[in-house]
Amino acid sequence: MAKAKVAYVCDDCGVEHPKWQGQCSACGKWNTLREFTLQRAAAGSGASVAGSGYSGAPPEVARLAEVETAALARMPTGMHELDRVLGGGFVPGSVVLIGGDPGAGKSTLLLQVAAAISGREPMLYVSGEESLQQIADRARRLSLPLDDLLVAVETRVEAIAELAQKHPPSAIVVDSIQVMHAESAGSVPGSVVQVRESAALLTRLAKQTLTTVILVGHVTKEGNLAGPKVLEHMIDCFVMLDSPAGTRFRTLRSQKNRFGAVNELGVFAMTETGLKEVANPSAIFLQRPKEMSPGSVVTVTWEGTRPLLVELQALVDESRSGYPRRIAVGLDPQRIGMHLAALHRHCGLSLSDQDVFANVVGGVRITETGADLATVLAVLSSFQNRVLPRNLVCFGELGLTGEVRAVPNGQERLREAQKHGFVQAIVPRANLAKDPVPGIDVKGVTSLKQTLEAVEALG
């Protein structure tokens, strides 16, 4: 009997190695290689989903100019915030992966969506982690319509394909991909090879039948998606549901989307009747106290296709050790060090003996550079123990040479700030609009030194 071939796959990047080693040579992560046994695929198994009845058509070649195109008829989810993140709804034949921490509300959100869609489109909800009684109990607790939604408890992807053939749905929810297994893959459920093969079979099912497949994925303790990194490359859309500690709000962000904007943000609130969308997210992140304190500044960040007002807070304190700390939550810590160096080089302000802490209120993560100016002003406000005006908003990118650069969608950001009652703004001069926004006094700056002078002029 031929000896079974063994391979070692990195959990983080999905690269295979011929033998085990402590560090992955592709991504550099340690202790991420997992062993699995390679098995020969049965003859003809690559042409169809085993046991499903869906046979792969013979390969064809067509001229690109002769291929007919049509507008994608999206399937609305019934939730405006979710539709925004997806780019307008589910696309037929697409594979959507929703990840998140345990208890974030992934299953609750998808059960709500499945129940809403089932009233107008055939919908199949497959769970490998809950019984039918548990699903029904949760649906009744959330007061969801139960008449049209089809549910099943199954962990074999071949059986799921057979159910899709017997009861053709417009969309299938699979909760979760980590507990699914394919009979053609000789490994235990949850292993690297099983997650990859199960996702591949479900992806093939989606493309052959134009059925939308929504997968639920768990995350590791580091906050990354569990399973091989190649899983993110196989699917069409990947969204992450975050649940900041100590709050009932949930943020849904798209990290990959072939049919919409990336980094689009949706905000939900967890209630007794499930997840409710928040129509005005800026309002929940601007719950500031009546008595303002030093170190607080409001900025307008751009999330996907809309502006969002958030509060930045900074705390500067004398360091008790020889190595001052630079800690940022919701911001890039490396940019904090760059801003402090720019302050010292161009404004003569040294914080080399100070601990600097920065935080974005509400658990929002800012990845764009438009928050640079607000971060610097928050640090200076705390360092000088000076309270900035409550009705002040600022945004802009700070360069290493001390210049303040323009950011995209400056006019829309100012309109959003004015709508929430802000009457003063400090922005890059290049973002000054030809038609001023009524009700808000905007000061344009070109350098960090001018920014400090504009703050001094505010009184």
Q: What pLDDT, in 10s, does the model give residues 164-181?
A: 999 999 999 999 898 998
How do residues 376-417 score in pLDDT, each as one tens digit?
Answer: 999 999 999 999 999 999 999 999 999 999 999 999 999 999
Q: With cut-offs at 50, 70 and 90, classify the pLDDT of residue 43.
A: very low
- How many Cα atoms are found within 13 Å in the side-chain-facing hemisphere of 63? 2
pLDDT given for residue 139 in this prediction: 95
Cβ-contact 200, 48 below 8 angstroms: no
How do residues 138-168 score in pLDDT, each as one tens digit?
Answer: 999 999 998 999 999 999 999 999 999 999 9
Does position 101 have pLDDT exceeding 50, yes or no?
yes
Choose between 218 and 446: higher pLDDT. 446
Q: With cut-offs at 50, 70 and 90, classify the pLDDT of residue 216.
A: very high
| Residues whose CB is less than 8 angstroms from the CB of residue 37 and which lie 6 or more positions away in sequence, other chains included | 4, 5, 6, 186, 187
pLDDT given for residue 75 in this prediction: 94
- Give me Rg for the CA atoms of the chain: 26
pLDDT given for residue 186 in this prediction: 65
**Cα angle 234-219-176, degrees, rounded to a multiple of 5:** 65
Distance CA 237, CA 255 (A): 8
- Structural tokens at position 328: 């940022």
Does position 234 have pLDDT exceeding 50, yes or no?
yes
- Structural tokens at position 419: 């709508």
b/e 109-130 (16+ beta carbons within 10 angstroms → b): bbbbbbbbbbeebbbbbbbbeb
pLDDT given for residue 47 in this prediction: 42
pLDDT given for residue 71 in this prediction: 65
- Structural tokens at position 386: 């000076």
Average pLDDT score over residue span 429-454: 92
- How many Cα atoms are found within 13 Å in the side-chain-facing hemisphere of 82? 23
Cβ-contact 49, 185 below 8 angstroms: no
- Structural tokens at position 305: 């296709």
Provide the 10 A C-beta neighbour count for residue 323.
Answer: 7
Average pLDDT score over residue span 255-268: 90
What percent of the chain stands above pLDDT 70? Answer: 89
DSSP for residue 403 = B
DSSP for residue 198 = H
- Structural tokens at position 436: 């001023």
Distance CA 439, CA 448 (A): 25
Encoded amino acid at 32, one letter: T
What's the pTM value of the predicted model, to 2 decimals? Answer: 0.79
Between 194-198, 205-209, 264-268, 325-329, the lowest mean confidence (pLDDT) is in 194-198
Does position 296 have pLDDT exceeding 60, yes or no?
yes
| Residues whose CB is less than 8 angstroms from the CB of residue 179 and which lie 6 or more positions away in sequence, other chains included | 128, 129, 155, 189, 190
Q: With cut-offs at 50, 70 and 90, classify the pLDDT of residue 322.
A: confident
Q: With cut-offs at 50, 70 and 90, classify the pLDDT of residue 229.
A: low
- Structural tokens at position 24: 């992955």
| Residues whose CB is less than 8 angstroms from the CB of residue 114 and which lie 6 or more positions away in sequence, other chains included | 123, 125, 149, 171, 173
Average pLDDT score over residue span 263-268: 90
- Structural tokens at position 217: 């994925």
Q: With cut-offs at 50, 70 and 90, classify the pLDDT of residue 233.
A: confident
Average pLDDT score over residue span 446-457: 94
User: Could you give the C-alpha distances from 195 to 172, 180, 229, 241, 272, in angstroms and in order?
Assistant: 17, 7, 11, 20, 33
Distance CA 176, CA 451 (A): 50
Which helix (H) or strand (E) segment holds residue 76: the answer is none
Q: With cut-offs at 50, 70 and 90, classify the pLDDT of residue 70.
A: low
Cβ-contact 181, 194 below 8 angstroms: yes
pLDDT given for residue 10 in this prediction: 78
pLDDT given for residue 226 in this prediction: 60
Q: Let me know how long the chain is.
A: 459
Sign of the torsion angle spanned by Cα atoms 39, 43, 45, 47: positive
pLDDT given for residue 291 in this prediction: 82
Candidate ranges 71-80, 225-234, 353-362; pick with highest mean pLDDT: 353-362
User: Could you give the C-alpha distances from 7 to 12, 32, 390, in angstroms and in order?
Assistant: 15, 13, 60
